[in-house]
Amino acid sequence: MSANRPAAVVVLAAGEGTRMKSATPKVLHDICGRSLVGHVLAASGELEPENLVVVVGHAREQVTAHLAEVAPGARTAVQAEQNGTGHAVRMGLEELGVSVDGTVVVVCGDTPLLTGETLRRLSATHSADGNAVTVLTAEVPDATGYGRIVRDEASGAVTAIVEHKDASPEQRAIREINSGVFAFDGALLAGALKKVRTDNSQGEEYLTDVLGILREAGHRVGASVAGDHREIAGINNRVQLSQARRILNDRLLTAAMLSGVTVVDPATTWVDVSVTFEQDVVVHPGTQLHGATHLAEGCEVGPNARLTDTLVGAGARVDNTVASGAEVGPEATVGPYAYLRPGTRLGRKGKIGTYVETKNASIGEGTKVPHLSYVGDATIGEFSNIGAASVFVNYDGQDKHHTTVGSHCRTGSDNMFVAPVTVGDGAYTAAGSVITKDVPPGSLAVARGQQRNIEGWVARKRPGSAAAKAAEEAVRGSAEEG
Ligand code: UD1
Ligand code: CA
């Protein structure tokens, strides 16, 4: 493979992408957790080029800032005015300085489905055939808008690429199109670009004209036909954006399924490229997995889970849950209807139950927070149980404070833990308590009003009411029994 290692890859990303109708530059739109240009860079990276140049123009501050994040090794070339793809490549080569010997691969920043595999094949064909230029083509059902590949009738050799707008009716009937991806001999490319003119319908320097120029000068022009035309689709509007997302998502899920993951409903399951799975994971319908989410062996997620940067341990169960920056231990259970915010760490066999929200909370092995609670800024030890409807009161209106609950605790329902406060190991708290003071290990804390019963109140204050009658009957009944 390194034999075909290109001298440079030039990524064209200067265009505005008007048809996206967006404040965001086209190449920065996201599919499956990566920008369009990010996908192109990932595929290009597989060629291990000696130089990687991205030609930027429209919204270049934004695009350049993004590139610094996702491809710190890439250089940028500025194309101040978008005078065409040929002009853009010229700017890219200028950035590289001295004439480039060896292969230069050109790709567009808006073809996110292009794979490294296809680029490698293009590059290999280019070298093997000793071409001056090799264009990646595909047969498409609808060629509208694309440059058409014109071949010599007798030999089948590529003679030219004609843009849709410049094509004759016969040429428009051609279904083999230019993907916009090429491998060039660097030195010949640089020479030919100087000869490209702008006498076409768009008044632009077309990169595609380089083919005709090189052929007329007697050089070999070749083509590599992509196996799957969908791979080379350029994104121009949001309909195509959604179609590309669907295709990429299917690819990712297919790979996951073939590696031993059960995806119950691929149509409603969405994953980012960065998500990883172990064997025998089950993903139920309506689930979205984002960022650095990792699902360990045999865990079960969904239905309707949205997990971002979340680790789910082996054999754990996460049902109807939103989680971000959380860690769910092995064999733990979460949900249904839980919200795990950043810094949540649930230990082995722990439980975060229904209508429970957690944040910056470390919950130990075997500990349960089963119902209707908020646990924020807390450390809870092992094998404790937090009663239903409890709140870790972490915010005094100005600052956040921490609560510590020990191991083997049993806290009552409807408790408020007013932080900072500590409940010692093995302690109990009574239902309805507002815990404002530390509870020593092994104690029972009771922090609530005493109950008093005012007998006969209903009969006196609500005479004749249904309540009064029910009470009267109850009293009569118990008198008869007695
Ligand atoms: C181009 C090709 C066409 C091909 C199609 C494939 C030319 C003349 N036409 O047409 O044959 O079928 O791609 O999708 O090459 N760009 C710049 N600077 C410019 C112009 C474009 O960087 O001055 C970039 C764009 O950001 C984009 C790429 O080049 O990433 C292609 O440009 P676009 O305007 O989409 O070209 P098409 O008309 O689609
Ligand atoms: Ca395009």
Confidence band (pLDDT; 50, 70, 90) for 146?
Answer: very high
Residue 1 has pLDDT above 50, yes or no: no
Ion ligand 2: protein residues whose beta carbon lies under 5 Å: 234
Most informative mutation of 28, 39, 85 for ligand 1 (most atoms within 8 A of CB): 85
Query: Residues 321, 338: contact at Cβ < 8 Å?
Result: yes
Ligand 1: which residues within 6 Å by Cβ?
12-15, 55, 57, 79, 82-85, 87-88, 108-110, 146-147, 161, 163, 177-180, 206-208, 234
361-386 tens-digit pLDDT: 999 999 999 999 999 999 999 999 99
pLDDT at residue 374, rounded to an integer: 98
Q: Which atom of ligand 1 is nearest to the CA of 209?
A: 8
390-427 tens-digit pLDDT: 999 999 999 999 999 999 999 999 999 999 999 999 99
- In the reported structure, the alpha carbon of residue 108 is separated from the centroid of ligand 1 by a whole-number distance in angstroms of 7
Task: Give the number of other CB atoms < 10 A from CB of residue 71.
Answer: 20
pLDDT at residue 3, rounded to an integer: 60
- In the reported structure, the alpha carbon of residue 180 is separated from the centroid of ligand 1 by a whole-number distance in angstroms of 7
As a whole number of Å, the end-to-end CA separation of the chain is 96
pTM of this prediction?
0.93
In this structure, the residue with its CA closest to atom 8 of ligand 1 is: 206
Active site residue 408: no
Average model confidence (pLDDT) across the chain: 96
The CA–CA distances, whole Å, from 85 to 119, 122, 222, 265 equal 19, 20, 19, 41
In this structure, the residue with its CA closest to atom 28 of ligand 1 is: 108
Query: What is the distance between the alpha carbons of residues 330 and 315, in angstroms, rounded to a whole number?
Result: 6
Residue 99 has pLDDT above 90, yes or no: no
Q: Which atom of ligand 1 is nearest to the CA of 178?
A: 12
Average pLDDT of the residues in 274-293? 98
45-73 tens-digit pLDDT: 999 999 999 999 999 999 999 999 999 99
